[in-house]
């Protein structure tokens, strides 16, 4: 009888365990993009709008009044830093400054209590969805291809790339150091450090170069997170002689060991513990910056996006499949900061992003998830108006440019509201991709950065939540079906 009871108890526990996950389902939403793409601002705006009664007419569950309440809860992963939502809101709303950007992985749990639209589901579901938002640098995703590369391949490619005309100058210091180093010499920590620093400086210089050069791995050299200065990051590719194996105790052997350690202790756990567990993903891109830099930068954005999408490509067997037991079923590629344009250009921006995304999907040979694109502003820092010029009424955007921003001869103080003529995007998306050498298209949009907006108050004295453009569309695509 005892054993029967035990078995019954175990069975019951299993059932209630299953029921618990069935009745309080969760969804892991990844938020990524290269640095400055707008991840921090997006997450903060998303949560603020859901908690503070945002205006979200295109988010169906919310519009129809089925969402009873959204609140922050303790996150399930104790070892991951929490996304510092409160600090970011204080910066945006109180100080009207942009919050500190993403530098490492962080997480936040938002729980939505809702009423299902169908009577059938209402009977079985408590109507609670926990959304675990995972914020992480897009730079880290670009490390995935390293898993398939030996130290020798990695070194050869790095040396070849650094010799290309566009990069040679930026890589000069590292190339000189590497050329003067004998890989077979006895390992020495100072040499390793100097080479690693010079290599990291070269990668950072590529990232900040105005020619918008593609981002090269190792991703942690650009965004070290909590690994700054650790031995796993103190390595560098070396100019190796064809075929020469590493002599034990040599610099070559030391660098090879650290490179392998980086793969084992940094890249693999990141993919296994974080990326592989995601259900949905939003990839933010700074399309306006690329538009400004010209067709070359747009092509580069497409390439980087292709590499990012390749990380979510699953079920192909082979090298990465053991990392991905799970699958992402929806990916949203979103250009944020659309508030720098007049609304007439929003669809045009979206068409441009669609072209970039289509190219990236093709390039990554990507299938398996629904991919959509969107032009939005997580936080709308401007409003629209018109300015009379002669007989014409011209559309403008009005906002407070950040202190130090300039238009022509005028430098702003960060306090004065100003009307700005936004750039016009061409009606045909094709036009911006047409290459005129490396020169940016002539009507490229020049934009100033604005301060975050002052929150509006209603006649009853209620402060509204952060204004946005099409954030509700993003929510509908990412969460809508799970709240049906
Ligand atoms: P992250 O590196 O991806 O976390 O990027 P952030 O979210 O910190 O955004 C980088 C910068 O882009 C911010 O400091 C803002 O200047 C700007 N930005 C981001 N989102 C928006 C937006 O929706 N509207 C406007 N006007 N600027 C934005």
C-alpha torsion 310→313→314→319, nearest 10:
-10
CA distance 70 to 298: 38
> What are φ and ψ of residue 76, in 5° steps?
-75, -25
Q: Which residue has the higher pLDDT, 396 or 243?
A: 396
Q: Residue holding tokens 């398939």?
A: 148
- Indicate which residue's Cα is closest to atom 16 of ligand 1: 98
Structure tokens at 269: 């756990």
pLDDT at 323 over 70: no
Residues 281 and 356 both lie in one domain: yes
- The CATH number for 101's domain is 3.40.50.300
Domain count, the chain: 3
pLDDT at 483 over 70: yes
Domain boundary among 270, 287, 322: 270
Give the Å distance between the CA of 448 and the centre of ligand 1: 13
Give the Å distance between the CA of 267 and the centre of ligand 1: 27
pLDDT at 19 over 60: no
Residues 261 and 153 both lie in one domain: yes
Q: Of all atoms in ligand 1, which is nearest to the CA of residue 101?
A: 8
pLDDT at 13 over 50: yes
Cβ atoms within 10 Å of 230's Cβ, excluding its own: 15
Q: What is the DSSP string of 269-328?
A: HHHHHTGGG-SEEEEEE-HHHHHHH-HHHHHHHHHHHHHHHHTT--S--STTGGG-SS--
Give the Å distance between the CA of 102 and the centre of ligand 1: 10
Query: Is the CB–ligand 1 distance for residue 377 below 6 Å?
Result: yes
Give the Å distance between the CA of 272 and the centre of ligand 1: 28
Give the Å distance between the CA of 32 and the centre of ligand 1: 13
Structure tokens at 91: 């910066």
Query: Is the CB–ligand 1 distance for residue 450 below 6 Å?
Result: yes
Query: Is the CB–ligand 1 distance for residue 399 below 6 Å?
Result: no
Number of H helices, E strands in the chain: 17, 12
Beta strand ranges found along 3-105 (DSSP E): 26-32, 67-73
3-state secondary structure of 125: coil
Out of 205-209, 249-253, 317-321, 455-459, pick the least confident.
Answer: 317-321
- Indicate which residue's Cα is closest to atom 27 of ligand 1: 337
pLDDT at 11 over 50: yes
Residues 290 and 306 both lie in one domain: yes
pLDDT band at 66 (very low <50, low <70, confident <90, very high): very high
- Indicate which residue's Cα is closest to atom 18 of ligand 1: 38
pLDDT band at 318 (very low <50, low <70, confident <90, very high): very low
80-117 pLDDT, tens digit each: 999 999 999 999 999 999 999 999 999 999 999 999 88
3-state secondary structure of 425: coil
CA distance 110 to 72: 5
Does the residue 338 lie in any domain? yes
Query: Is the CB–ligand 1 distance for residue 336 below 6 Å?
Result: yes
Domain boundary among 270, 302, 326: 270
Q: Kindly give, in sequence order, each residue whose CB lies less than 8 Å from that of residue 269, ignoring residues fewer than 6 positions away.
A: none
Q: Which residue has the higher pLDDT, 464 or 91?
A: 91
Does the residue 19 lie in any domain? no
Q: What pLDDT does residue 440 have?
A: 45
CA distance 306 to 358: 9
Query: Is the CB–ligand 1 distance for residue 335 below 6 Å?
Result: no
Crossing angle for the helix pair 172-179 and 189-208, nearest 10 degrees? 150
Give the Å distance between the CA of 317 and the centre of ligand 1: 37
Query: Is the CB–ligand 1 distance for residue 96 below 6 Å?
Result: no
What are the CA-CA distances from residue 357 to residues 102, 185, 215, 352 (Å)? Answer: 23, 47, 18, 9
Residues 64 and 110 both lie in one domain: yes
Our CA angle for 28, 29, 35, nearest 5°, is 135
CA distance 368 to 275: 16
CA distance 257 to 158: 17
Give the Å distance between the CA of 35 and the centre of ligand 1: 9
Query: Is the CB–ligand 1 distance for residue 102 below 6 Å?
Result: yes
CA-nearest of 434, 443, 471 to 338 is 471
Ligand 1: residue of 48, 98, 450 to mutate (most ligand atoms within 8 A of CB) is 98
Residues 476 and 356 both lie in one domain: yes
Residues 208 and 163 both lie in one domain: yes
Out of 7-11, 222-226, 324-328, pick the least confident.
Answer: 7-11
Q: What is the mean pLDDT of the chain?
A: 88
Query: Is the CB–ligand 1 distance for residue 425 below 6 Å?
Result: no
Give the Å distance between the CA of 37 and the centre of ligand 1: 6
Query: Is the CB–ligand 1 distance for residue 451 below 6 Å?
Result: no
Does the residue 157 lie in any domain? yes
Give the Å distance between the CA of 89 and the centre of ligand 1: 13
- Indicate which residue's Cα is closest to atom 7 of ligand 1: 38
Residues 331 and 412 both lie in one domain: no
Q: What pLDDT does residue 428 have?
A: 79
pLDDT at 444 over 80: no
162-214 pLDDT, tens digit each: 999 889 999 999 999 999 999 999 999 999 999 999 999 999 999 888 777 77
Give the Å distance between the CA of 424 and the centre of ligand 1: 21
3-state secondary structure of 158: helix
What ipTM describes this predicted complex? 0.99
Query: Is the CB–ligand 1 distance for residue 375 below 6 Å?
Result: no
Crossing angle for the helix pair 346-363 and 295-310, nearest 10 degrees? 50
> What are φ and ψ of residue 282, in 5° steps?
-115, 130
Residues 199 and 169 both lie in one domain: yes
Does the residue 305 lie in any domain? yes
Q: What pLDDT does residue 423 have?
A: 75
Structure tokens at 420: 């700005």
CA distance 23 to 113: 12
Note the Cα 193 to chain centre separation in Å.
Answer: 30
Does the residue 301 lie in any domain? yes
For 208, the domain range is: 144-270
122-163 pLDDT, tens digit each: 666 668 999 999 999 999 999 998 999 999 999 999 999 999
Give the Å distance between the CA of 38 and the centre of ligand 1: 4
Query: Is the CB–ligand 1 distance for residue 262 below 6 Å?
Result: no
Does the residue 438 lie in any domain? no
361-417 pLDDT, tens digit each: 998 888 888 999 999 999 999 999 999 989 998 889 999 999 999 888 889 999 999
Residues 245 and 369 both lie in one domain: no
257-284 pLDDT, tens digit each: 999 999 999 999 999 999 989 999 999 9
Residues 323 and 406 both lie in one domain: no
- Indicate which residue's Cα is closest to atom 25 of ligand 1: 337
Burial level of 389, CB count in 10 A (0-12/13-18/19+)? exposed
Residues 121 and 161 both lie in one domain: no
- Indicate which residue's Cα is closest to atom 6 of ligand 1: 38
pLDDT at 317 over 70: no
Give the Å distance between the CA of 39 and the centre of ligand 1: 7
Sheet containing strand 106-114, strands side by side = 67-73, 106-114, 128-135, 26-32, 280-285, 330-335, 370-375
Does the residue 449 lie in any domain? no
Q: What pLDDT does residue 367 have?
A: 83
Q: Of all atoms in ligand 1, which is nearest to the CA of residue 379?
A: 23
Domain boundary among 233, 254, 270: 270
Residues 92 and 130 both lie in one domain: yes
Does the residue 185 lie in any domain? yes
């Amino acid at each position: 009888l005892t054993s029967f009871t035990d078995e019954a108890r175990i069975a019951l526990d299993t059932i209630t365990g299953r029921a618990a996950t069935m009745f309080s389902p969760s969804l892991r939403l990844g938020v990524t993009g290269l640095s400055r793409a707008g991840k921090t601002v997006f997450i903060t705006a998303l949560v603020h709008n859901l908690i503070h009664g945002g205006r979200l007419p295109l988010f169906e569950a919310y519009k129809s009044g089925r969402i009873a309440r959204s609140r922050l809860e303790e996150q399930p992963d104790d070892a991951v830093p929490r996304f510092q939502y409160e600090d970011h809101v204080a910066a945006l709303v109180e100080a009207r400054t942009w919050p500190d950007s993403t530098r490492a992985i962080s997480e936040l749990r938002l729980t939505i209590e809702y009423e299902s639209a169908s009577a059938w589901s209402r009977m079985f579901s408590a109507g609670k969805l926990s959304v675990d938002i995972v914020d992480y640098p897009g730079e880290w995703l670009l490390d995935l291809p390293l898993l398939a590369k030996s130290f020798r391949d990695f070194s050869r490619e790095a040396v070849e790339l650094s010799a290309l005309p566009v990069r040679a100058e930026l890589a000069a210091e590292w190339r000189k150091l590497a050329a003067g180093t004998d890989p077979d010499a006895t390992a020495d920590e100072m040499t390793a450090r100097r080479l690693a620093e010079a290599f990291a400086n070269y990668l950072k210089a590529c990232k900040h170069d105005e020619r918008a050069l593609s981002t090269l791995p190792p991703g942690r050299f650009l965004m070290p997170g909590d690994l700054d200065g650790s031995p796993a990051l103190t390595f560098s590719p070396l100019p190796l002689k064809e075929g020469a194996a590493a002599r034990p105790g040599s610099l070559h052997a030391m660098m090879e060991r650290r490179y392998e350690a980086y793969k084992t202790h940094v890249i693999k756990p990141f993919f296994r513990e974080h990326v592989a567990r995601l259900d949905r993903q939003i990839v933010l891109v700074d399309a306006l910056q690329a538009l400004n830099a010209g067709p070359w930068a747009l092509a580069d954005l497409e390439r980087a996006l292709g590499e990012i999408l390749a990380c979510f490509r699953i079920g192909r067997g082979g090298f990465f499949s053991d990392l991905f037991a799970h699958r992402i079923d929806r990916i949203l590629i979103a250009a944020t900061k659309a508030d720098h344009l007049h609304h007439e250009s929003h669809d045009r921006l979206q068409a441009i992003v669609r072209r970039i995304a289509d190219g990236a999907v093709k390039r990554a040979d990507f299938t398996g998830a629904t991919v959509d694109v969107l032009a939005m502003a997580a936080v709308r820092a401007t409003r629209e108006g018109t300015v009379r010029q002669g007989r014409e009424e011209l559309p403008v955007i009005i906002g407070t440019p950040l202190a130090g921003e300039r238009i022509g001869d005028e430098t702003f103080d960060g306090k004065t509201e100003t009307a700005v003529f936004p750039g016009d995007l061409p009606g045909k998306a094709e036009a911006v991709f047409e290459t005129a050498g490396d020169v940016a298209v002539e009507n490229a949009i020049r934009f100033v950065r604005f301060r975050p907006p002052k929150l509006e108050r209603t006649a009853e004295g209620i402060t509204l939540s952060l204004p946005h453009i099409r954030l509700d569309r993003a929510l509908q695509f990412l969460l809508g079906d799970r709240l049906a």
